[in-house]
Amino acid sequence: MVGGLDLTDTRARDHLALSAEGGKCPQRRYFGTDGVRGIVGASLTEELVERLGRAATLWSGRGRALVGRDTRASGPALEAALARGIVDAGGTAVLAGVLPTPAVALLAQDLGLVVSASHNPPEYNGVKVFDREGHKLSDADEVEIEALLDAAGAGGGSIEHAEDAASGYVEHVVEHFGSDLAGLRIAVDCANGAYSDIAPGVFERLGAEVTALANAPDGTNINAACGATDLAMLRSAVTADSFDFGIAFDGDGDRMLAVDADGQMVDGDQILAICALALDVDRVVVTTMTNMGFHRLMDGHGIRVVTTDVGDRYVLEALRAEGGILGGEQSGHVIVLDGHVTGDGLAAALTLCRSLGGRTLSEAAAVMPRFPQAKENVTVAHAVVAPRVAQEVERVNAELDGSGRVLVRPSGTEPLIRVLAEAEREEDAASLCASIAALVRREARDR
């Protein structure tokens, strides 16, 4: 249940298609879908990050905070600002340097803090917060932290360094998710991010022949024409050199996508489908973005699907509430909680490898029929869905009556309205998407 809605019910999902999922809670000024993010020096400043460090530490009880960061040029300065805030609150900042987001969650002490803007371009950065259990915060937790942004600290804190955090994380992931990969040839796109010095070595350790791509971060190239947000380079590499498949991570490592031997993308829905059948789960948690073909496949296998708002933290909340171990998003957040506390791109990639069962990736992905989808991101001044747009979406979805759908939502991290249309025919999906996106633009101009 979310907001009084049973999210396994189709009518509830239709309602959520009109809602502002992915947007900011009205009570929060800084926290969005996944932490606090912005363009460095504009909406995200060192002063704000220091205040966040102080407030989060006060909220947690002035304990020990493990701090990791991705590879952006702004990372060291923002890490220092975060540490100043932690120390001023009387806490201990345990600095781990460059470390994937899921590693920070797994190794979190009284707090886990990550200086990262995930899949966003290099000019962005941000702060993600995990509690002592490695869980992402609830909306209510974030409201409480924001209420402490101007609180005074008692001082007296300290700074320590965790030099071996990455190796401890690797050992855990290999133990819980690794399998024999001998005979596989894999291209691994590290997005010039936090997995650059980690992921290729893990696949090689498990026996695969690996070619690493985008594994030379220079502070300005994270997620730039590479990684899970841009598969063109990986596709070219896989097809040019006859790899079995390719894996792409995003900059902070909390999501991944794949490319089969023919260069075709295998998205989060398909990866979840492959893993759900291989792991023999009885339930899986997804978001409103998930393809209708996934729902049909799960229904055919008697697997219950719980649908939440967009955002991997909502998937995580539902998994914990439902007692499930598998969930995720089409964008590549794949969450396997059997041996973990959050979504982890490397753990997900290893689970996918283990789930192939001797099949090629294209053979495994073919089990899920896919409804054609069309998407468009409309840049707006204010990421709010206009009433006329919501009314038109409601009308169109009623008319489609299950043969397709339209979903409109504000981005929680960028000034965008995201439009998705799904139909049984590709041309119908494209037409629906274009029509609704045009209406979004018109309404934005008239505001």
Contact 124, 61 (CB under 8 A): no
Q: Which residues contact 209 (CB under 8 A, 6 or more apart)?
A: 184, 185, 186
Comparing C-alpha atoms, which of 7, 312, 346 is closest to residue 177? 346
Q: Which residues contact 397 (CB under 8 A, 6 or more apart)?
A: 14, 17, 405, 406
Round to whole Å and give the CA distance between 244 and 10: 38
Active-site residue among 60, 74, 116, 118? 118
Round to whole Å and give the CA distance between 126 and 49: 8
Q: Dihedral, CA atoms, 171, 126, 268, 418, nearest 10 degrees?
A: 180
Contact 169, 107 (CB under 8 A): yes
Q: Which residues contact 20 (CB under 8 A, 6 or more apart)?
A: 384, 385, 409, 410
Q: Is 118 a catalytic residue?
A: yes
Contact 287, 310 (CB under 8 A): yes
Known catalytic residues are 118
